[in-house]
Chain A
Amino acid sequence: MNLIDFNSDFFQNLPDGTELISRLDSISNSENKPISTIPFGCEIDINELFERAKSSVRFIKKEEVKNDLSLYKLTHVNKKDKNIESSGYFILYRHPDYDNVYIAFTFEESVFFNQELKPFIKSFYPEIIFTFIKSKNMLDLIEQFKLRNEISAIIINKANFILRKEDEESFPGLSWPKMPLDEAFNWVVNDQNGWFKSLKFDAIRYNKIITSVFINRQGIVKTDLNFEMVYNAFIQPICKSIDSNYKQFRNRDRRSSENLDAKPLVVEYDSEIFKNVDENIIFINAISRLDNASVSTLHGNPYIHLSIIDYLDGSSFDLWVLNSKEIILVPQMRGTIASIKRILNHIFDTFAEGEIKDYEMSY
């Protein structure tokens, strides 16, 4: 498929965002072209942000604009001779329901997606945030997808997961089990006390694969067929979750309050995860692995009190474990949405997934 022709046609005939999804759907089905998507959040003008990108090897150019859609070309040149090493197009779509949520779509090959587009978008951290999808939520999304689309079976083709044996630190795994959904989740989440970083699965209806989907914890979704179905089942909820992240994590820092009051968050666990004090050491070790951060242990036993400075954007936090089922995160003078998310993500990735809630005072 000639992408330039497609893009030019695509933009000339596209009335609004609703049609975007069905157009992408028909293109993916007729051309059998995989579509990769990155839903992300950004509270400042995205075009200005992209223009601010300063790299001597990566260049971005806006080719077309229509309503909430923009077509960009991203080019990577060799640092020495300035020859083009790779280049590709992506479409940026501003979500109509959520002010600060965008989706980047591309039909380009996975090399462009993984080596150029994804790092390019990520390089705007902390201005740009992704979401995080816990294993339980990932399972819910897939089950809803199965139910709503009369899918008879979900077969996991590739799973990237973290296992965590009791009283031990977590370790990663990669597997191609050809396993049904329930079995895979049961094995990783229930039997091995672990969680999925990403999943690739086939959706089967009447013995026929109707789509293959890749989804990871950051909300990146790739598919090859029936894009609209995948969009509605995965990308829409992911966009909603990014919007919820903004609502839940915004103005948590003390500077946002007139009296400099703290507005903590709690990570709540179903089980008494800190019942055994050995777990304190595992937790502190896990948090200490947070890159680009200073983690100071003020107390480690019997309760935990850590002071965290995030060098990426200058946010700082106090973290407390004062009962066996909860972690309390207290943003200090600066606590950006991106940094709060980064720390909570790190806890979920390296220790255990829990439920994020507002802290409720109890005397």
Chain B
Amino acid sequence: MKNSLQKIKEFNDNYSNTIQAIVGFMHIYKYEFKKEKNIDVKLFQGRKFDKENDKENFATPDIGILINEKSGVIGEVKNSFPKDTSLWKEDFLQLLQYDDNLIGWPVKDEIIPLYDIVLLVQDSRSRDVKDYFLSKKDELKFNHPFIIIEYGRSDEAKHYFRFRIEYGNLSEPIIHSKIYSGCPIAMEYLVVQYSKILIYDTPPHLSWMMFLIYSCMIDKATEENKYHKINKKTKIELEISIDEVVERLHKTYSFCSFHKNHQERQPKLPKKDWVKQAILKLVFIGEVRWKDEQQENIIFLLQKHDKSVIEHYAEKCLSEENDVNQTTLRF
């Protein structure tokens, strides 16, 4: 159990590291261009792009940056790479999809002439990933500038998130020189600025989703003046539709504030399916009741948990693992 709990913790840690890498990297652009020239920078996460040469499929990169409506950056964050290097090709093939001319930029005709493709890799693997890419350079040919950037925490008296270019040249000289030999961002800056972002366009661990739903239910109860001190015996019953749960999670924990003025191609996150899976689990452990046969409305039984809420749901996911046969959201 302890090892499994540790694994969940590591999963959640990787998940939040990825979010910090996304916001940290985007932040460098936002900050530098605002500081230097007050240039408009638009940021987006999980935006749906069409591909000029592949009408059947679309791309949803982790990172999207548009600078002055002219140039941009598309990126993917890989917090971990499998030990088996033969599996790495898939990640690069995903990046190669972005090499098609992407349609869907938040500009008038949805196309921009120039954009970089970046791969953000944790510092422990960045050198190996670069070597792998160089060894496969003949097969993995990018038409757009391709850059590998390492990121990682630097734990000194103050904790930093650091970005450094491992391979390639970013098209924006200001940013390139900033990141080339290492750009530290104080973690306190990141977490305070972006502490509300807890979900991106990859499903989190089921227990994390359950925790976020629980937090949202407390918010709902307080907002509607239904909250009173809860303990093990007193519960607050809250009626809510799954769509409202999704909406609340979206407003509270997603990247939605980044997309306020360019929402048109942004998916609503978390996806309803992720939320429904977590609700199913909450029903299974007796913390939620269905209100209708269509399973679109629920009654959430808000109660106090003896231990930490996150640990409570992690343990529930482990102890009931065999019954539901799934602890991680997969779609």
CB-nearest residue of chain A to B226 = A314
Tell whether B12 is near chain A: CB-to-CB under 8 Å.
yes
A294/B309 in contact, CB under 8 A: yes
Known: A314-B221, A332-B215. A294 touches B305 (CB 8 A): yes
Partner of A302, one of B31, B155, B192, B308: B155
B308/A295 in contact, CB under 8 A: yes
In the assembled complex, how far is the CB of residue B177 from the closest CB belonging to chain A, in whole angstroms?
16
B155: chain A residues within 8 A (beta carbon): 302-303
Q: How far is the CA of A292 from the CA of B305 in the complex (A)?
A: 10
CB-nearest residue of chain B to A275 = B157
Q: Mark contacts of A290-303 with chain B using CB atoms, 8 A cut-off: 1 yes-contact digit, 0 otherwise.
A: 00101111110011
CB-nearest residue of chain A to B194 = A262
Q: Mark contacts of B210-223 with chain A using CB atoms, 8 A cut-off: 1 yes-contact digit, 0 otherwise.
A: 01000100110111
B223/A313 in contact, CB under 8 A: no
CB-nearest residue of chain B to A264 = B192
A309/B215 in contact, CB under 8 A: yes
Known: A272-B157, A302-B159. A307 touches B191 (CB 8 A): no
Known: A260-B252, A309-B309, A311-B231. A323 touches B195 (CB 8 A): no
Q: How far is the CA of A124 from the CA of B160 in the complex (A)?
A: 43
B13/A299 in contact, CB under 8 A: yes
Q: Which of B143-170 contact A (CB under 8 A)?
A: 155, 157-159
In the assembled complex, how far is the CB of residue B27 from the closest CB belonging to chain A, in whole angstroms?
9
Q: How far is the CA of A324 from the CA of B13 in the complex (A)?
A: 22
Tell whether A215 is near chain B: CB-to-CB under 8 Å.
no
B229/A311 in contact, CB under 8 A: yes
B211: chain A residues within 8 A (beta carbon): 296
Tell whether B299 is near chain A: CB-to-CB under 8 Å.
no
Q: How far is the CA of A297 from the CA of B5 in the complex (A)?
A: 13
Tell whether B175 is near chain A: CB-to-CB under 8 Å.
no
A254: chain B residues within 8 A (beta carbon): 196, 252
Q: Which of A282-327 contact B (CB under 8 A)?
A: 292, 294-299, 302-303, 305, 307, 309, 311-316, 318, 320, 322-324, 326
Partner of A296, one of B157, B187, B218, B308: B308
Known: A272-B157, A295-B308, A298-B16. A323 touches B219 (CB 8 A): no
Tell whether B243 is near chain A: CB-to-CB under 8 Å.
no
Number of B residues, CB within 8 Å of A: 39
Known: A297-B308, A311-B231, A314-B218. A330 touches B159 (CB 8 A): no
Partner of A323, one of B159, B193, B227: B159
In the assembled complex, how far is the CB of residue B31 from the closest CB belonging to chain A, in whole angstroms?
6
Tell whether B251 is near chain A: CB-to-CB under 8 Å.
yes
Tell whether A344 is near chain B: CB-to-CB under 8 Å.
no
Partner of A298, one of B12, B222, B304, B305: B12
Tell whether A4 is near chain B: CB-to-CB under 8 Å.
no
Q: Mark contacts of B297-319 with chain A using CB atoms, 8 A cut-off: 1 yes-contact digit, 0 otherwise.
A: 00000001101111100000000
A322/B186 in contact, CB under 8 A: yes
Tell whether A111 is near chain B: CB-to-CB under 8 Å.
no
Number of A residues, CB within 8 Å of B: 42
A332: chain B residues within 8 A (beta carbon): 196, 215
A322: chain B residues within 8 A (beta carbon): 158-159, 186-188, 191
Tell whether A334 is near chain B: CB-to-CB under 8 Å.
yes
A323/B157 in contact, CB under 8 A: yes
Tell whether A259 is near chain B: CB-to-CB under 8 Å.
yes
Known: A294-B305, A323-B159, A359-B192. A303 touches B187 (CB 8 A): yes
Q: How far is the CA of A217 from the CA of B99 in the complex (A)?
A: 64
Interface-central residue, A296, A299, A326, by most chain B CB under 10 Å:
A296
B252/A361 in contact, CB under 8 A: no
Pair count A-B, CB < 8 A: 113
In the assembled complex, how far is the CB of residue B80 from the closest CB belonging to chain A, in whole angstroms?
18
Tell whether B185 is near chain A: CB-to-CB under 8 Å.
yes
Interface-central residue, A259, A299, A311, by most chain B CB under 10 Å:
A311
Known: A294-B309, A296-B309, A323-B158. A362 touches B186 (CB 8 A): yes
A328: chain B residues within 8 A (beta carbon): 188, 191-192
Q: How far is the CA of A264 from the CA of B195 in the complex (A)?
A: 10
Q: Which of B211-255 contact A (CB under 8 A)?
A: 211, 215, 218-219, 221-223, 227, 229-231, 251-252
Tell whether B284 is near chain A: CB-to-CB under 8 Å.
no
A313/B227 in contact, CB under 8 A: yes
B196/A262 in contact, CB under 8 A: yes
B251/A262 in contact, CB under 8 A: no
A362: chain B residues within 8 A (beta carbon): 186, 188-189
Known: A314-B222, A320-B188. A333 touches B252 (CB 8 A): yes
A272: chain B residues within 8 A (beta carbon): 157
Tell whether B257 is near chain A: CB-to-CB under 8 Å.
yes
CB-nearest residue of chain A to B309 = A294
In the assembled complex, how far is the CB of residue A126 from the closest CB belonging to chain B, in whole angstroms?
9
In the assembled complex, how far is the CB of residue A267 from the closest CB belonging to chain B, in whole angstroms?
13
A292: chain B residues within 8 A (beta carbon): 229, 304
Known: A303-B155, A322-B186, A323-B158. A313 touches B192 (CB 8 A): no
In the assembled complex, how far is the CB of residue B317 from the closest CB belonging to chain A, in whole angstroms?
15
Tell whether A363 is near chain B: CB-to-CB under 8 Å.
yes
Q: How far is the CA of A254 from the CA of B197 in the complex (A)?
A: 12
Q: How far is the CA of A299 from the CA of B13 in the complex (A)?
A: 8
Q: How far is the CA of A272 from the CA of B156 in the complex (A)?
A: 13
Tell whether A255 is near chain B: CB-to-CB under 8 Å.
yes
B215/A255 in contact, CB under 8 A: no
B219/A333 in contact, CB under 8 A: yes
In the assembled complex, how far is the CB of residue B33 from the closest CB belonging to chain A, in whole angstroms?
14
Other 9 A-B pairs with CB < 8 A, given A296-B311, A362-B186: A259-B257, A262-B192, A292-B304, A298-B310, A302-B159, A312-B229, A320-B187, A332-B196, A363-B189
Listed from nearest, the 7 A-B pairs whose CB atoms lie closest are: A296-B308, A296-B310, A314-B222, A314-B227, A323-B158, A333-B219, A322-B188
Interface residues of B (CB under 8 A from A): 12-13, 16, 31, 155, 157-159, 185-189, 191-193, 195-196, 211, 215, 218-219, 221-223, 227, 229-231, 251-252, 257, 304-305, 307-311
* 7 pairs, CB–CB < 8 Å, chain A vs chain B: A254-B196, A261-B196, A294-B304, A294-B307, A322-B188, A323-B157, A334-B218
Interface residues of A (CB under 8 A from B): 254-255, 259-262, 264, 272, 275, 292, 294-299, 302-303, 305, 307, 309, 311-316, 318, 320, 322-324, 326, 328, 330, 332-334, 359, 361-363
